[in-house]
């Protein structure tokens, strides 16, 4: 049985003092959950958040990183920098990074490799636009994104890889994919991983759904056969609402 991973992506929100207060509020609300709880926080909140989660079951991730080990990349953050403060996870290829910051399948692939080499678990984000969905291209788009993201990744590295399926038209719009559609898309990703790595890897990899997840729709989504939890944007900014999503099974 795969565990559920419920993650909040704060995007460009919350200052360090707000991050600390958030974690203090969230901690007792999720202390009893069997689900894995992860917060993807802005770089400036990472260190404060990592101190604040000590002795809790909350994990911390970064929202991006550069693929180079080090060098003349003004303004960028390396995997080694994240590892040096014990960051566990990193989001790679979020659609907002693909859309606004020229992230491509090639840079995503390089970042996945660098993250794994530095023992940080990448969460690879994939998803189709509304136009692609309407043309019936969803499966092709997301399975190609996955195939390219994983190029050169060895089977034994796959235990540290997670995927988030986030249809772009569902992000921040209040529109959620139906649980059946989300489940089918995630099944298609799992089948692609099965083709590349075989059944064991395909059955153990965590694949989340993201896109307008909230406390009122999370149970329906997370109880589908292939959906292993969620990547939550807007609704994760309130620790009480996020705790309800983490505790969807209570």
Where does this chain bind ligand 13P (CB under 6 A)? 9, 94, 166, 171-172, 210-213, 231-235
The residue among 120 and 202 lying less far from ligand 13P, judged by its C-beta, is 120
The residue among 211 and 239 lying less far from ligand 13P, judged by its C-beta, is 211
Tokens 């109880």 — which residue? Answer: 223
Residues annotated as catalytic (active site), given as ranges: 94, 166
Strand extents, DSSP E, 127-215: 162-165, 206-210
| Shortest distance in whole angstroms from residue 13 CB to ligand 13P | 10
The residue among 202 and 245 lying less far from ligand 13P, judged by its C-beta, is 245
| Shortest distance in whole angstroms from residue 56 CB to ligand 13P | 22
Strand extents, DSSP E, the chain: 5-9, 36-40, 58-62, 89-92, 121-126, 162-165, 206-210, 229-232
CA distance 120 to 87: 7
The residue among 195 and 216 lying less far from ligand 13P, judged by its C-beta, is 216
Is the Cβ–Cβ distance between 126 and 146 less than 8 Å?
yes
Instruction: State how beta strands 36-40 and 58-62 pair.
Output: parallel
| Shortest distance in whole angstroms from residue 22 CB to ligand 13P | 16
Between the alpha carbon of residue 57 and those of residues 27, 34, 52, 147, 188, the distances in Å are 8, 9, 11, 32, 31
| Shortest distance in whole angstroms from residue 243 CB to ligand 13P | 16
Tokens 């399948």 — which residue? Answer: 105
Question: Residue 60 pairs with which residues in a beta bridge?
Answer: 39
């Amino acid at each position: 049985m795969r565990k559920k991973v419920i993650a909040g992506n704060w995007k460009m929100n919350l200052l360090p003092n707000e991050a600390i207060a958030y974690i203090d509020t969230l901690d007792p609300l999720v202390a009893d959950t069997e689900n894995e709880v992860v917060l993807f926080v802005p770089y400036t909140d990472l260190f404060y958040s990592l101190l604040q989660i000590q002795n809790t079951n909350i994990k911390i991730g970064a929202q991006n990183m550069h693929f180079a080990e080090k060098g003349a990349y003004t303004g960028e953050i390396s995997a080694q920098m994240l590892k040096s403060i014990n960051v566990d996870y990193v989001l790679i290829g979020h659609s907002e990074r693909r859309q606004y910051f020229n992230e491509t399948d090639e840079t995503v692939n390089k970042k996945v490799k660098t993250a794994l080499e530095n023992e940080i678990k990448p969460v690879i984000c994939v998803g189709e636009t509304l136009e692609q969905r309407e043309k019936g291209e969803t499966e092709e788009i997301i399975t190609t994104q996955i195939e390219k993201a994983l190029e050169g990744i060895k089977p034994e590295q796959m235990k540290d890889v997670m995927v988030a399926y986030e249809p772009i038209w569902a992000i921040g719009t209040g529109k959620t994919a139906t649980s059946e559609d989300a489940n089918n898309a995630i099944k298609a990703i799992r089948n692609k991983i099965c083709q590349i790595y075989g059944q064991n890897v395909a059955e153990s990899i965590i694949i989340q759904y993201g896109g307008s997840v909230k406390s009122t729709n999370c149970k329906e989504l997370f109880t589908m056969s292939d959906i292993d939890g969620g990547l939550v944007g807007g609704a994760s900014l309130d620790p009480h609402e996020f705790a309800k999503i983490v505790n969807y099974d209570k």
